Amino acid sequence: MGLFQKLFGKATDDLYAPMAGKAVAITQVPDPTFAEGMLGNGIAIEPTEGKVYAPCDATVDMMFPTGHAVSLVADCGAEILIHVGLETVSLEGKPFTIHAANGDKVKKGQLLIEVDLKAVEAAGLKTITPMVVCNTDNYPTFQTKVDRDVTNADVVIQLAK
């Protein structure tokens, strides 16, 4: 039994970092759509590597054709949006390689997207990557683990209903 379950009597659903880098609070994203929680609560990664992995077992709800974002429905019911960089849709998919398709069942740690971070930066865009739970209201307990270096082996969000 984990500490959270001992303290609160409920099991949590864990979401892992989708990228290697530094996990930061969603409020640090320089875009009000994310920073003000318009799409839901979450975290962001300042990436050190251009690989985006599934943060949990899930189904790909929508892989954007440009590869700049993916929406997942976690097996636990969380609706997750991972948006690689800011304003990166404008790159029309050039620095992205897609490794999953709509409807695919994916396992935690499965490669979803690769991105050339240097190409994003060369275009004058930010690489910070928000991961939000769009149905945050379904989770009265929502804990983030930020201000640290992470990989896909690290939990960054814990949810409980």
Q: Is 99 a catalytic residue?
A: no
Residue from 22, 83, 95, 150 carrying the catalytic annotation: 83
Helical segments of the chain, H only:
3-8, 32-35, 117-122
Smallest CA-to-CA distance from 157 within 66, 48, 81 is with 81
Distance (Å, whole) CA 10 – CA 142:
12
Distance (Å, whole) CA 30 – CA 46:
12
Residues known to be catalytic: 83
